[in-house]
Structure 1
């Protein structure tokens, strides 16, 4: 899978080449965002869907 495809699929991308302070600030922001997501919003068996198993459009 190409890097561009990985980035397209990712919920978050953490750039690590901009210094530790910048990276930590981005991680903090991601964690704050994640705290706002209500519990239980993930569909059941999401881990199978993440791999494409059982998905009607899976290759």
Structure 2
């Protein structure tokens, strides 16, 4: 099964958010899930909802 993760773009600057993403993705992979990360340029919006409301689309990358 696929699990899509879309953490706020401040994970680039916020070590706690980045660690939470890494830890969560690692555990999901250990449990056998395909982990796919949604990413976007932070200038397009902090969250996925902000980004899409501004007319941008995220890029998806499988881990």
What TM-score do the two structures reach when normalised by structure 2? Answer: 0.33
Structure in which a larger fraction of residues adopt strand: 2
Higher RCO, 1 or 2 (CA under 8 Å, sep at least 6)?
A: 2
Structure with greater Cα Rg:
1
